[in-house]
């Protein structure tokens, strides 16, 4: 049997993560030791023993085995909060193919001190006789400031120094003199800042759950008590009261002495939302967001570790809050792409939540009006439980949705960027002093090419995704690398009216101003929202009614509530629909349904207009009817047919190098070594290499390969084998690699 070695760090801090110490695992421990175990190890010279955490285990000694000392003692396995964080990191490493150090840095907050807030409490001495004698003497000496303070203290008993100084118009000197005379003492305490402190009491929501909501909460409680492990997916249209139900669920968990993590995409984490939680849980709620300094965020983790709060609300990093006994993890708007990390490891909050919930025996609740195809697929297969909320609690109607065929506009001689219906609708809203939102869904847009006469889109014959325009009139597939030359003539209708969609928010604004010179227009994009709170400012202006029309990217339709908006238009729905990514349809459907939800939130019924060259596309048709299930059924057929997730599992390996030849050699080696026939029989496919959308960036060349299989275990093994091979092979020393799990 080969020996086992352990990496041990003496304490949990980012500096120590990079320099673990290696120890031999004595034979009797090999079965019980794991990342997160607390151990005693000999350290430095002599026989000094220190306590440390095991971060990683390996069969390789790394250097001369004779010089590696054995672990002295196993203190405990994974009960400490720090141990749990290491366990989570070990899972991240295995699941996402990163190093242990990268995984640990993801789960452990960066330690950084902030100015702690000091409160100084002034207290009178218990020796009343002495105090009164002193006061008498001061009155005689006409020491007014000292008399004022003493008199106030005799009434109040104790006073906050800062408040006393301000209210009684004192200087620090007065306090010092009284302290030195022994008539008062200063008690100093340090408190950590609660980011929502000082907000005042939030108004209570007086809500009686409707039937559906009550059934959901009851189902949640029963399942939690019964130890149900499957996550609960709540499919509920916007305004059906999901947040109301979350609050009830959390209440149940908190009353049992457990804690709650609530993930909300940062852009939807509005003040109003936080207030609703605060109204119920008061100061036991805290938030995390990217505007907080690292120190402030670290403070929240400290407060959680000390048991000073029960509920944390934040984006995906809030998952790593070191609570002792988590009872519920909620992921609201679970379809949002911001739940997937774009750093290494490229973890998805949904998957990590599942693991963390397992560690704590907690419930995982996912909620959305448009669930991700992955979650809904799992619910259909029984891996998740599904609960549907069908009614809007507020009674407001959903917007009416129209699809405008831009091919028909062109045929009718309209060469502008707005349909005739849209122009009429805008004029009507301006007349009635109602508000309008116009957006371009540029997300993921990589430059597809299509025929403006018949709508034909140039797609990859192998992957069924749009081809992307590249320099030299080339069209390229970003999965398999297939290339073709741009045709000058549409293969479908023969028209020569072929080009990519070019639309920017600036151009939309110019055009609107030309047609409606009196309209007040606000634009929200990267140019107009620089600065810390840039886009909050634009949104606030719009909410205050200081503009008639808000123009922007998809950013403007996420989660904001403007009661006076009664018209919303997706100006170029095709931009994200043909983004060259297998998820393009899903992203577009979500966005269009969300956008429809923006129109008509108040008293007046809203309208949504979708401009497209592909009105017969199933994504557009179901978005028009706001029919999630219809969309899901068509989409899952496509995924199954093309072997895309969630039906198949897919890994992406990105390779980056300064030298193009080395990059090509590295990829050929991988292909030769791992994909030479026998794997196809096991149901594993290798796709690529394909150039990344930005093939050459900062003097580096970037390609990707994809590996697909319906069997997740096989893919996990592949990732490990390929990872080992990459570490052992010379040519990969000058190639940077990273894994991504789709
Ligand atoms: P969601 O999170 O599904 O969008 P919310 O929980 O935000 O829905 O509820 C939408 C609105 O409806 C909120 O203003 C909320 O106060 C109100 N609401 C929800 N449920 C009820 C109810 N049972 N009775 C009265 N108002 C409700
Ligand atoms: Zn055509
Ligand atoms: Zn392809």
Answer for the pair 538, 529: CB distance below 8 angstroms, yes or no. yes
pLDDT of residue 665: 94
Distance from the CA of 496 to the center of ligand 2, in angstroms? 8
pLDDT digits (tens, 9 = 90+) for 271-296: 778 889 999 998 899 998 877 878 88
Ligand 1 pocket check for 368: Cβ under 6 Å = no
pLDDT of residue 626: 92
- 223/215 Cα distance (integer angstroms): 12
Distance from the CA of 387 to the center of ligand 3, in angstroms? 37
What's the first-to-final CA gap in the chain, in angstroms?
Answer: 37
- Are 211-389 and 400-446+501-640 the same fold in CATH? yes
Distance from the CA of 582 to the center of ligand 3, in angstroms? 11
CA angle 233, 239, 240 (to 5 degrees): 50
The conformation of residue 473, written as its DSSP 8-state character, comes to T
Distance from the CA of 366 to the center of ligand 1, in angstroms? 17
Ligand 1 pocket check for 214: Cβ under 6 Å = no
**Nearest CA residue ID for atom 9, ligand 1:** 241
Instruction: Look at residue 540 and tell me whether its pLDDT is greater than 90.
Output: no
DSSP string of 70-97, one letter each residue: BP-EEEESTTSHHHHHHHHHHHHHHHHT
pLDDT digits (tens, 9 = 90+) for 252-269: 999 999 999 999 988 777
Residue 174 confidence class, pLDDT cut points 50, 70, 90: confident
Widest pairwise Cα distance in the chain: 106
Ligand 1 pocket check for 450: Cβ under 6 Å = no
Ligand 1 pocket check for 243: Cβ under 6 Å = yes
- 28/418 Cα distance (integer angstroms): 74
Residue 88 confidence class, pLDDT cut points 50, 70, 90: very high
Mean pLDDT (whole number) for 156-179? 83
Residue 179 confidence class, pLDDT cut points 50, 70, 90: confident
Residue 380 confidence class, pLDDT cut points 50, 70, 90: very high
pLDDT of residue 514: 95
- Tokens for 356? 């963390």
Answer for the pair 711, 679: CB distance below 8 angstroms, yes or no. no
Distance from the CA of 463 to the center of ligand 3, in angstroms? 4
Distance from the CA of 591 to the center of ligand 1, in angstroms? 21
Place of tokens 């502008």: 416
**Per mean pLDDT, which of 97-101, 265-269, 637-641 is the most reliable?**
637-641
Least confident range from 338-347, 533-542, 603-612, 625-634: namely: 533-542
**Nearest CA residue ID for atom 8, ligand 1:** 241
- Angle (deg, nearest 10), helices 628-641 and 618-625: 160
- 125/132 Cα distance (integer angstroms): 10
Mean pLDDT (whole number) for 485-496? 89
Mean pLDDT (whole number) for 479-503? 86
**Nearest CA residue ID for atom 15, ligand 1:** 241
Ligand 1 pocket check for 505: Cβ under 6 Å = no
Distance from the CA of 241 to the center of ligand 1, in angstroms? 4
Distance from the CA of 493 to the center of ligand 2, in angstroms? 4
- 709/643 Cα distance (integer angstroms): 8
Question: Who wins on pLDDT, 170 or 323?
Answer: 323
- 119/113 Cα distance (integer angstroms): 18
Using the atom order of ligand 1, give the atom closest to the CA of residue 210. 23
Task: Assign 642 to helix, strand or coil.
Answer: coil
DSSP string of 494-525, one letter each residue: ----EEE----HHHHHHHHHHH-TT--EEEES
Most ligand 1 atoms within 8 A of CB, residue of 244, 563, 597 to mutate? 244
- Tokens for 248? 């009830």
Residue 530 confidence class, pLDDT cut points 50, 70, 90: low
pLDDT of residue 531: 58
Instruction: Look at residue 197 and tell me whether its pLDDT is greater than 60.
Output: no
pLDDT of residue 386: 98
pLDDT of residue 200: 59
Return mean pLDDT, the chain: 88
The conformation of residue 528, written as its DSSP 8-state character, comes to T
Most ligand 1 atoms within 8 A of CB, residue of 204, 206, 239, 249 to mutate? 239
Mean pLDDT (whole number) for 179-185? 86
The conformation of residue 26, written as its DSSP 8-state character, comes to P
- Count Cβ atoms below 10 Å from residue 381 Cβ, excluding itself: 9
**Considering only the top CATH level, what class is 400-446+501-640?**
alpha beta
**Nearest CA residue ID for atom 23, ligand 1:** 209
Helix (H) or strand (E) holding 695: strand 685-697
Distance from the CA of 240 to the center of ligand 1, in angstroms? 6
Share of the chain above pLDDT 70, in %: 93
Mean pLDDT (whole number) for 441-453? 80
- Tokens for 716? 């996990």
Burial class (CB in 10 A: 0-12, 13-18, 19+), 653: buried
In CATH terms, the fold of domain 211-389 is Rossmann fold (3.40.50)
Mean pLDDT (whole number) for 390-418? 89
Instruction: Give residues with Cβ within 8 angstroms of 540, minimum separation 6.
Output: none
Question: Who wins on pLDDT, 114 or 671?
Answer: 671
CA angle 437, 443, 449 (to 5 degrees): 105
Residue 610 confidence class, pLDDT cut points 50, 70, 90: very high
**Per mean pLDDT, which of 92-96, 155-159, 184-188, 633-637 is the most reliable?**
633-637
Instruction: Give residues with Cβ within 8 angstroms of 90, minimum separation 6.
Output: 34, 35, 36, 55, 56, 100, 103
Ligand 1 pocket check for 205: Cβ under 6 Å = yes
pLDDT of residue 370: 95
**Nearest CA residue ID for atom 25, ligand 1:** 207
Least confident range from 312-326, 571-585, 642-656, 676-690: namely: 676-690
Instruction: Look at residue 589 and tell me whether its pLDDT is greater than 90.
Output: yes
pLDDT of residue 539: 81
Instruction: Give residues with Cβ within 8 angstroms of 211, minimum separation 6.
Output: none
Mean pLDDT (whole number) for 421-449? 89
Residue 393 — φ and ψ, nearest 5°?
-65, -30
- 413/419 Cα distance (integer angstroms): 11
Least confident range from 356-360, 456-460, 529-533: namely: 529-533
Which-ligand-closest: CA of 496? 2
Ligand 1 pocket check for 601: Cβ under 6 Å = no
Least confident range from 105-119, 140-154, 536-550: namely: 105-119
Question: Who wins on pLDDT, 96 or 127?
Answer: 96
- Give me the residue spans of the domains in the chain: 5-107, 117-191, 211-389, 400-446+501-640, 649-741
Mean pLDDT (whole number) for 706-716? 92
Ligand 1 pocket check for 242: Cβ under 6 Å = yes
Which-ligand-closest: CA of 490? 2
Instruction: Look at residue 112 and tell me whether its pLDDT is greater than 80.
Output: no
Question: Who wins on pLDDT, 668 or 47?
Answer: 668
**Nearest CA residue ID for atom 5, ligand 1:** 241
Mean pLDDT (whole number) for 187-205? 62
- 70/221 Cα distance (integer angstroms): 48
pLDDT of residue 602: 67
Which-ligand-closest: CA of 453? 2
In whole angstroms, how large is the CA radius of gyration of the chain?
31
Ligand 1 pocket check for 393: Cβ under 6 Å = yes
Strands across the sheet containing 285-287: 285-287, 311-314, 259-263, 326-332, 363-368, 232-236, 385-389
Using the atom order of ligand 1, give the atom closest to the CA of residue 209. 23
**Per mean pLDDT, which of 6-15, 120-129, 359-368 is the most reliable?**
359-368
- 487/469 Cα distance (integer angstroms): 12
pLDDT of residue 14: 64
- 662/650 Cα distance (integer angstroms): 25
- Tokens for 543? 């909410």
Distance from the CA of 666 to the center of ligand 2, in angstroms? 41
- 5-107 to CATH, choices 1.10.940.10, 3.40.50.2300, 3.60.20.10, 3.40.1440.60: 3.40.1440.60
Total-model pTM = 0.85
Ligand 1 pocket check for 276: Cβ under 6 Å = no
CA angle 397, 403, 409 (to 5 degrees): 145
- 727/702 Cα distance (integer angstroms): 19
Distance from the CA of 448 to the center of ligand 2, in angstroms? 14
pLDDT of residue 78: 62
- Tokens for 382? 């029984």
Which-ligand-closest: CA of 457? 2
Ligand 1 pocket check for 273: Cβ under 6 Å = no
CATH of domain 649-741: 3.30.70.600
Which-ligand-closest: CA of 461? 3
Instruction: Look at residue 190 and tell me whether its pLDDT is greater than 60.
Output: no
Mean pLDDT (whole number) for 621-645? 96
Q: Are strands 700-709 and 363-368 parallel, antiparallel or unpaired?
A: unpaired
Using the atom order of ligand 1, give the atom closest to the CA of residue 205. 16
**Nearest CA residue ID for atom 21, ligand 1:** 393
Mean pLDDT (whole number) for 668-672? 90
- Reply yes or no: is the peptide bond before residue 209 cis, omega within 30 of 0: no
Which-ligand-closest: CA of 264? 1
- Count Cβ atoms below 10 Å from residue 245 Cβ, excluding itself: 25
- 540/615 Cα distance (integer angstroms): 34
Burial class (CB in 10 A: 0-12, 13-18, 19+), 168: middle
Ligand 1 pocket check for 367: Cβ under 6 Å = no
- 495/475 Cα distance (integer angstroms): 18
Spell out the alpha helix ranges (H) of 569-692: 574-577, 584-598, 618-625, 628-641, 660-674, 678-681
Answer for the pair 5, 61: CB distance below 8 angstroms, yes or no. yes
**Nearest CA residue ID for atom 20, ligand 1:** 241
Ligand 1 pocket check for 213: Cβ under 6 Å = yes
Using the atom order of ligand 1, give the atom closest to the CA of residue 332. 2
Strands across the sheet containing 158-160: 158-160, 117-124, 184-191
Ligand 1 pocket check for 279: Cβ under 6 Å = no
Strands across the sheet containing 5-9: 21-24, 5-9, 49-58, 38-42, 73-76
SS3 letters across 175-239: HHHHHHCCCEEEEEEEECCCCCCCCCCCCCCCCCCCHHHHHHHHHHHHHHHCCCCCCEEEEECCC
**Nearest CA residue ID for atom 27, ligand 1:** 393
């Amino acid at each position: 049997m080969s020996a086992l070695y352990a990496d041990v760090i003496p304490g949990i801090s980012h500096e120590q993560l990079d320099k673990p110490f290696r120890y031999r695992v004595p034979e009797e421990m090999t079965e019980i030791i794991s990342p997160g175990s607390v151990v005693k190890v000999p350290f430095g010279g002599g026989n000094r023993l220190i306590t440390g955490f095991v971060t990683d285990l390996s069969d390789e000694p790394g250097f001369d085995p004779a010089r590696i000392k054995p672990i002295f003692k196993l203190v405990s396995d994974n009960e400490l909060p720090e141990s749990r964080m290491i366990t989570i990191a070990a899972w991240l490493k295995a699941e996402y193919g990163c190093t242990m150090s990268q995984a640990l840095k993801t789960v452990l907050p960066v330690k950084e001190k902030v100015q702690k807030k000091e409160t100084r409490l002034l207290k009178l001495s218990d020796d009343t006789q002495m105090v009164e004698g002193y006061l008498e003497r001061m009155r005689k000496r006409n020491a007014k400031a000292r008399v004022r303070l003493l008199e106030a203290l005799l009434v109040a008993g104790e006073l906050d120094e800062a408040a006393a100084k301000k209210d009684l118009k004192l200087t620090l000197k007065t306090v010092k003199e009284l302290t030195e005379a022994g008539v008062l003492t200063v008690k100093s305490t340090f408190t950590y800042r609660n980011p929502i402190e000082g907000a005042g009491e939030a108004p209570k929501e007086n809500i009686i759950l409707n039937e559906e909501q009550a059934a959901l909460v009851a189902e949640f409680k029963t399942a939690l008590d019964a130890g149900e492990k499957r996550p609960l997916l709540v499919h509920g249209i916007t305004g059906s009261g999901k947040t109301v139900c979350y609050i009830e669920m959390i209440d149940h968990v908190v009353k049992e002495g457990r804690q709650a993590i609530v993930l909300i995409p940062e852009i939807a984490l509005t003040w109003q939302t936080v207030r609703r939680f605060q109204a119920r849980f008061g100061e036991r709620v805290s938030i995390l967001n990217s505007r907080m300094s690292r120190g402030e965020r670290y403070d929240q983790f400290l407060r959680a570790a000390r048991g000073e709060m029960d509920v944390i609300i934040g984006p995906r990093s809030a998952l790593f809050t070191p609570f002792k006994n988590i009872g519920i993890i909620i992921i609201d708007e679970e379809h949002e792409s911001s739940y997937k990390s774009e750093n290494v490891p490229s973890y998805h909050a949904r998957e990590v939540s599942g693991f963390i919930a397992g560690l704590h025996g907690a419930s995982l609740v996912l909620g959305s009006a448009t669930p991700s195809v992955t979650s809904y697929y799992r619910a259909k297969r029984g891996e998740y439980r599904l609960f549907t909320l069908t009614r809007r609690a507020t009674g407001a109607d959903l917007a009416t949705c129209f699809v405008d065929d831009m091919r028909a506009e062109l045929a009718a001689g309209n060469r502008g960027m707005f349909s005739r219906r849209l122009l009429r609708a805008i004029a009507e809203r301006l007349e009635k002093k109602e508000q309008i939102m116009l957006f371009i869904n540029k997300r993921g847009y990589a430059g597809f090419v299509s025929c403006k006469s018949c709508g034909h889109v140039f797609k990859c014959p192998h992957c069924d995704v749009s081809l992307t325009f590249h320099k030299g009139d080339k069209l390229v597939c970003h999965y398999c690398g297939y290339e073709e030359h741009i045709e000058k003539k549409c293969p479908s209708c023969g028209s020569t009216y072929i080009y990519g969609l070019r639309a920017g928010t600036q151009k939309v604004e110019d055009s609107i101003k030309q047609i409606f010179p009196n309209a007040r227009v606000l634009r929200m994009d990267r140019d107009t929202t620089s600065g810390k709170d840039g886009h909050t400012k634009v949104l606030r202006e719009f909410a205050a009614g200081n503009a008639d029309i808000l123009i922007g990217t998809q950013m403007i339709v996420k989660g904001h509530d403007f009661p006076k908006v009664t018209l919303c238009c997706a100006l170029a729905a095709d931009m994200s629909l043909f983004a060259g990514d297998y998820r393009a349809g899903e992203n577009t459907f979500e966005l269009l349904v969300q956008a429809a939800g923006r129109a008509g939130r108040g008293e007046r019924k809203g309208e949504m207009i979708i401009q497209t060259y592909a009105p017969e596309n199933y994504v557009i048709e179901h978005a028009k009817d706001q029919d999630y299930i219809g969309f899901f059924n068509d989409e899952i057929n496509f995924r199954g047919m093309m072997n895309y997730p969630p039906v198949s599992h897919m890994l992406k390996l990105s390779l980056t190098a300064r030298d193009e030849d080395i990059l090509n050699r590295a990829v050929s080696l991988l292909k030769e070594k791992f994909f030479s026939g026998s794997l196809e029989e096991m149901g594993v496919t290798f796709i690529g290499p394909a150039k990344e959308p930005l093939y050459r960036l900062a003097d580096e060349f970037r390609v990707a390969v994809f590996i697909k299989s319906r069997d997740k275990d096989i893919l996990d093994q592949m990732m490990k084998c390929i990872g080992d091979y990459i570490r052992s092979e010379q040519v990969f020393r000058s190639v940077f690699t990273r894994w991504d799990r789709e």
